[in-house]
Structure 1
Amino acid sequence: MCKDENHLNGIGRRALLVTSAATALTLNGVSFASAENGQERQGDETRTVRGTLPAGSPDFVYVPVEVPDGVRELHVSYRYDKPAVPPGTPGNALDIGLFDERGTDLGGAGFRGWSGGARSEFFVRADAATPGYLPGRIRPGVWHVALGPYTVAPEGLAYEITVTLRYGEPGVTPRPSYPPERARGRGRAWYRGDCHIHSWYSDGRRTPAEIAALAREAGLDFINSAEHNTQSAHAHWAEHAGDDLLILLGEEVTTRNGHVVALGTDPGTFVDWRYRARDNRFGHYADAIRRAGGLVVPAHPHATCIGCNWKFGFGEADAVEVWNGPYTPDDEVSLADWDSALQAAGGGRWLPAMGSSDAHRDPDRIGGPQTVVLAEELSRTAILAGLRAGHSYVAESAAVSVEFSATGGRGLRAGIGERLPVDRDAPVSVRVAVTGAPGCAIRLVTDQGVLFTGPALPESGAGSAEWRTTPAYASYVRAEIRHPATTPGLPGALAAFTNPVFLGEA
Structure 2
Amino acid sequence: MCTDAEHAPGRRALIVTGAVAALTLGTVRFANAAPREDARSTETVRGTLDPGAADFVYLPVEIPRGVKEIHVAYAYERPAQPPGTTGNALDIGIFDQRGTALGGEGFRGWSGGARSEFFLRSDDATPGYLPGALEPGVWYIALAPYTVAPGGLAYEVRITLTYGAGAPPRTPVYPPERARGRGRDWYRGDCHLHSWYSDGRRTPAEIAALARAAGLDFVNSAEHNTHAAHAHWADAAGDDLLVLLGEEVTTRNGHVLAVGTDPGTFVDWRYRARDNRFGRFARRIRQAGGLVVPAHPHATCIGCNWKFGFGEADAVEVWNGPYTPDDEVSLADWDGSLAVAARGGGRWTPAIGGSDAHRDPDPVGAPQTVVLADDLSRRAVLDGIRAGRCYIAESKDVTVALTAADGRGRQAGIGGRLRVADDAPVTVRVEVAGVPGCTVRVVTDQGVLHTETVPASGTGTVRWRTTPRNAAYVRAEVRHAPSVPGLPGAPAALTNPVFLGG
Pairwise same-fold verdict (TM > 0.5): yes
Pairing 1:13-412 to 2, within 5 Å after superposition: 14-35=12-33, 42-345=38-341, 346-412=344-410
Which residue identity lines up with residue 504 of structure 1 in the other structure?
G
Residue 386 of structure 1: SS of its match in structure 2?
A: helix
Question: Is the 8 Å Cα contact of residues 5 and 52 (structure 1) preserved in structure 2?
Answer: no
Counterpart for residue 470 of structure 1: 467
Matched, 1:2 2:5: yes
Distance in 2 (CA, whole Å) between partners of 1:409 and 1:17 is 66
Residue 228 of structure 2: SS of its match in structure 1?
A: coil
Q: Give the gaps of 5 or more residues in structure 1.
A: none
Detail structure 1 runs of 4+ shifted over 3 Å in the superposition: 38-42
Q: Give the gaps of 5 or more residues in structure 2.
A: none
Aligned-pair CA distance for 1:410: 2.2
Deviations 1:467-505 (A, max 9, x none): 000000000000000000011111000110100000001
Matched, 1:488 2:491: no
Distance in 2 (CA, whole Å) between partners of 1:98 and 1:5 is 20
Which residue identity lines up with residue 424 of structure 2 in the other structure?
A
Distance in 1 (CA, whole Å) between partners of 2:395 and 2:414 is 19
Counterpart for residue 429 of structure 2: 431
Aligned-pair CA distance for 1:265: 0.2
Aligned-pair CA distance for 1:4: 3.6
Distance in 1 (CA, whole Å) between partners of 2:222 and 2:468 is 39
Aligned-pair CA distance for 1:5: 4.1
Distance in 1 (CA, whole Å) between partners of 2:238 and 2:35 is 52
Residue 118 of structure 1: SS of its match in structure 2?
A: coil
Pairing 1:415-454 to 2, within 5 Å after superposition: 415-454=413-452
Distance in 1 (CA, whole Å) between partners of 2:405 and 2:155 is 64
Aligned-pair CA distance for 1:373: 0.4
Distance in 2 (CA, whole Å) between partners of 1:151 and 1:163 is 24
Distance in 1 (CA, whole Å) between partners of 2:473 and 2:133 is 56
Which residue identity lines up with residue 489 of structure 2 in the other structure?
G
Which residue identity lines up with residue 355 of structure 2 in the other structure?
S
1:26 to 1:41, Cα distance in 2 relative to 1, 3 A: farther
Residue 84 of structure 1: SS of its match in structure 2?
A: coil
TM-score (norm 1): 0.97
Question: Is the 8 Å Cα contact of residues 108 and 270 (structure 1) preserved in structure 2?
Answer: no
Which residue identity lines up with residue 2 of structure 1 in the other structure?
A
Number of positions where the alignment pairs a residue of Structure 1 with one of Structure 2? 497
Question: Is the 8 Å Cα contact of residues 7 and 28 (structure 2) preserved in structure 1?
Answer: no
RMSD (Å), alpha carbons = 1.1
Match of 1:502 among 496, 499, 502: 499
Counterpart for residue 476 of structure 2: 479
Residue 5 of structure 2: SS of its match in structure 1?
A: coil
Which residue identity lines up with residue 473 of structure 1 in the other structure?
N
Question: Is the 8 Å Cα contact of residues 355 and 394 (structure 1) preserved in structure 2?
Answer: yes
Share of identical aligned residues, percent?
A: 72
1:3 to 1:307, Cα distance in 2 relative to 1, 3 A: same
Which residue identity lines up with residue 25 of structure 2 in the other structure?
L
Residue 356 of structure 2: SS of its match in structure 1?
A: coil
Which residue identity lines up with residue 102 of structure 2 in the other structure?
L
Question: Is the 8 Å Cα contact of residues 409 and 422 (structure 1) preserved in structure 2?
Answer: no
Aligned-pair CA distance for 1:81: 0.0
TM-score (norm 2): 0.98
Residue 52 of structure 1: SS of its match in structure 2?
A: strand
Distance in 1 (CA, whole Å) between partners of 2:355 and 2:78 is 30
Deviates more, 1:26-35 or 1:160-169: 26-35
Which residue identity lines up with residue 280 of structure 1 in the other structure?
N
Question: Is the 8 Å Cα contact of residues 36 and 164 (structure 2) preserved in structure 1?
Answer: no
